[in-house]
C-alpha cells in the first residue's frame, strides 16, 4: 500500500515527469545531474510509495502506464505550484528586506518624495499615485504600508507624522490682470472668481475650501477641474484663468517667470504634509523609511 508523499518526494516527482516527457530515464537522470542507476532506483522507490506502476521500461526507453499518465499531469501541477510557492516566498523575503508599499498624493509623489526616496538608502519602493482621499483609503485597507497626503485629513484609525510643511499659492500667467495688482488680491474677489482647480477629493482643493470657510466664505464653482497639477499649470500659462497650487510644485515656474504668484489678503493657505499609517502598525522598516524622508527639524 502506498503512503502519503512528503516534501522529499518532489525531487522524485520531477524525475518522473522528465522521464515521461523525454521518454528516457537516462535523459531524465542527466537533467537532474545524477546517474541512471540512481534515477532508476528513485523511480522504483516512488512507485512503491504511490502503490502503482508508473512507467513501462523497454530497451528503447520508457513510457507511462495509463495510471502513470494520469499521475504525471497531477505531478506537473504539483511541481508548478511548488515553483509558485518558492517564487512567492522569495518575493516576501525580498519585501522583508526592504520593499515598502507607498501611496502618495500627486504633490507629494511628483515634487516632494522622489529626491527623498533616492536619498533614503537601499530601499525598494512600490509607489501608487492618487489623490489624498484615495491614498487614505489604500492605507485603511492595508493595500499599502504608508501614505503621504496633504491635510486636512480624517485621522480615525490612523497614526500620522508631520514630514514637511507646504503653502498653497494663487497663480496666474504674466499677462493676467491679477499679475499687475499694486497690492494683495482681496479675499472676496478670489472666492467669487471661478478658478481652475483640482478635483474635490484632492488635498489641494480641500485646503483651499477649508481656508475660505474658516474666513466665512464659500468658493465659487470652478471654471475647470483637472486631476493633474501639470495640466493646471499648462492651462494657466495658456491664459485660461487662475489656479491654486502647492508652492513646492511651481518653484521652477516662479523662478522662470512663466507663472506669477498673487498675494491674497486675509487668507492663510499653509498646510501640513503628513505620513499616515494604520493605527498600531509596528513595521520597523516602514518606520525607518518615514523617518528617512522626513525633514530633520520636524517632529
**CB proximity list for 186: less than 8 A, separation 6 or greater:** 264, 265, 266
Per residue in 112-134, is it b (16+ CB within 10 Å) or e — as a string?
bbeebbeebeebebebeebbbbb
Q: Are 51 and 4 in contact (CB under 8 A)?
A: no
Domain with CATH 3.40.190.290 in the chain: 165-271
- Beta strands 260-262 and 270-278 are unpaired
What pLDDT does residue 61 have? 92
Task: Give the residue among 218, 221, 208, 202 at the shortest CA–CA distance from 268.
Answer: 208
Secondary structure class of 3 (helix, strand, coil): coil
- Rg of the chain on CA atoms, in Å: 32
Q: How far apart are CA 152 and CA 161, in angstroms?
A: 13
What pLDDT does residue 80 have? 80
What pLDDT does residue 181 have? 95
Q: How far apart are CA 16 and CA 71, in angstroms?
A: 10
Looking at the DSSP bridge assignments, the partners of residue 160 are 276
Q: Are 151 and 203 in contact (CB under 8 A)?
A: yes
- Beta strands 270-278 and 99-104 are unpaired
- Per CATH, the number for 165-271 is 3.40.190.290
- Per CATH, the number for 99-164+272-293 is 3.40.190.10
What pLDDT does residue 3 have? 57
Cis peptide before 219 (omega within 30 of 0): no
End-to-end Cα, the chain, rounded Å:
68
**CB proximity list for 38: less than 8 A, separation 6 or greater:** 29
9-93 fold:
Arc Repressor Mutant, subunit A (1.10.10)
What pLDDT does residue 298 have? 45
**CB proximity list for 150: less than 8 A, separation 6 or greater:** 105, 107, 108, 132, 166, 203, 204, 206, 207, 246, 271, 272, 273, 274
Backbone torsion region of residue 24, taken as left when φ is above 0, otherwise alpha when ψ lies between -120 and 50, otherwise beta: beta
Secondary structure class of 224 (helix, strand, coil): strand
Residue 223 backbone phi and psi in degrees, to 5: -75, -35
Domain with CATH 1.10.10.10 in the chain: 9-93
What pLDDT does residue 283 have? 82
Q: Give me the tens of pLDDT residue by residue for the chain, a chain 299 residues long.
A: 445 666 667 888 989 999 999 999 999 998 888 999 999 999 999 999 889 999 999 999 999 999 999 999 898 888 888 777 766 665 555 555 568 899 999 889 988 899 888 887 777 888 999 888 889 999 998 889 999 998 766 677 889 899 888 999 999 999 999 999 999 999 999 999 999 999 988 889 989 999 999 999 999 999 999 988 999 999 999 999 999 999 999 999 999 999 999 999 989 899 889 999 998 888 888 888 888 888 654 44
The pTM (predicted TM-score) of the whole model is 0.60
Hey, what's the cell of 200? 474635490
Domain with CATH 3.40.190.10 in the chain: 99-164+272-293
Amino acid at each position: 500500500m502506498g503512503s502519503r508523499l512528503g516534501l522529499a518526494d518532489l525531487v522524485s516527482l520531477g524525475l518522473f515527469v522528465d522521464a515521461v516527457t523525454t521518454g528516457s530515464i537516462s535523459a531524465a537522470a542527466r537533467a537532474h545531474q545524477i546517474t541512471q542507476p540512481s534515477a532508476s532506483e528513485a523511480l522504483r522507490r516512488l512507485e512503491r510509495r504511490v502503490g502503482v506502476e508508473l512507467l513501462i521500461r523497454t530497451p528503447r526507453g520508457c513510457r507511462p502506464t495509463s495510471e502513470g499518465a494520469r499521475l504525471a499531469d497531477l505531478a506537473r501541477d504539483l511541481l508548478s505550484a511548488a515553483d509558485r510557492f518558492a517564487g512567492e516566498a522569495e518575493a516576501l523575503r525580498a519585501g522583508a528586506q526592504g520593499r515598502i508599499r507607498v501611496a502618495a498624493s500627486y504633490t507629494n509623489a511628483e515634487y516632494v518624495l522622489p529626491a527623498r526616496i533616492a536619498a533614503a538608502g537601499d530601499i525598494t519602493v512600490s509607489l501608487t499615485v492618487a489623490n489624498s482621499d484615495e491614498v487614505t483609503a489604500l492605507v485603511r485597507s492595508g493595500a499599502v504600508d504608508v501614505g503621504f497626503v496633504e491635510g486636512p485629513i480624517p485621522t480615525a484609525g490612523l497614526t500620522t507624522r508631520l514630514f514637511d510643511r507646504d503653502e498653497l499659492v494663487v497663480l496666474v500667467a504674466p499677462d493676467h490682470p491679477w499679475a499687475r495688482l499694486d497690492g494683495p488680491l482681496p479675499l472676496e474677489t478670489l472666492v467669487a472668481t471661478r478658478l481652475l482647480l483640482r478635483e474635490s477629493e484632492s488635498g489641494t482643493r480641500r485646503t483651499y475650501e477649508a481656508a475660505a470657510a474658516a474666513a466665512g466664505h464659500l468658493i465659487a464653482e470652478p471654471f475647470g477641474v483637472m486631476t493633474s497639477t501639470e495640466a493646471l499649470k499648462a492651462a494657466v500659462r495658456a491664459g485660461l484663468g487662475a489656479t491654486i497650487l502647492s508652492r513646492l510644485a511651481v518653484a521652477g515656474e516662479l523662478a522662470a517667470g512663466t507663472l506669477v504668484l498673487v498675494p491674497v489678503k486675509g487668507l492663510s493657505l499653509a498646510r501640513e504634509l503628513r505620513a499616515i499609517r494604520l493605527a498600531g502598525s509596528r513595521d520597523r522598516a516602514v518606520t525607518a523609511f518615514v523617518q528617512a524622508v522626513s525633514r530633520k527639524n520636524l517632529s
